Amino acid sequence: MATRLTNKNTGIKNKPIRPDQIGLGEIAINNHESGAFLQVKNNLGEIIRVGGVIIQDEQPGLAQKGAFWLSVSKDTLFVFTGNHWHPMAGAGEEGPAAPPEIVPPGDGTLSIIGPDGVTVGTFTANQKENTNINLPPPKWAEIQDLPCLYVCNSYIPSLAVLPE
């Protein structure tokens, strides 16, 4: 009886595999009809796209090192080098127009600052710059003298009847 081997795979368009999902020497397969391709992990731990061509007019939002993109409207084939789509061929004598530079994401921090100026929490965010979110001060005047629930020993003094 034959043994069936199955590689990690997906049918979602341009879905990359994460480095923690694949080991050295393993292959991941994307079999979407827009252009099937393989992905492998190199010795630096980067996911590299192997084979397959993305065929669409607009620049792909997701790019992996080694990816090919054929822009039918520009009649140009591009290759992604890790930070830029480089034209390879096409577009007649003038050469292809270079697509916009892709800015790689950073490891900025997202900090939540309380109304008293104290940092409540800090998180690493996939963004280029650091960002603060400042919480507004509480507006006690808006809730003062309004009924409220205070639970202590199952007693709620502000309600005549317990809620259902």
Which residues are within 8 A (CB) of 126 and not within 5 positions of it... i.e. 6 or more apart? 105, 106, 107, 108
Task: Give pLDDT tens digits along the chain (164 positions).
Answer: 788 877 887 878 777 788 888 888 788 888 877 667 888 888 888 888 887 788 888 888 777 788 888 888 888 888 888 888 888 866 555 555 666 666 566 778 888 888 888 988 888 877 777 888 888 887 766 766 666 655 544 444 555 555 55
> What are the extents of the domains in the chain?
8-90, 105-164
Q: Which pLDDT belongs to residue 155?
A: 47
CA-CA distance, 71 to 69, in Å (whole number)? Answer: 6
Q: Which pLDDT belongs to residue 100?
A: 61
Q: Which pLDDT belongs to residue 149?
A: 58
Give, as one character, the DSSP assignment of residue 17: P
> Hey, what's the torsion of the CAs at 49, 52, 54, 60, to 10 degrees?
0
Q: Which pLDDT belongs to residue 58?
A: 83
User: For the whole model, what pTM was predicted?
Assistant: 0.43
Q: In this structure, are residues 88 and 66 in contact, taking their beta carbons and an 8 Å threshold?
A: no
Q: Which residues are bridge partners to 69 per DSSP? A: 54, 78
Residue 79, both tokens: 């290759």
Q: Give φ, ψ of 119 to 5 degrees.
A: -70, 120
Q: In this structure, are residues 156 and 162 in contact, taking their beta carbons and an 8 Å threshold?
A: yes
Name the nearest CA neighbour of 76 among 102, 51, 94, 52.
94
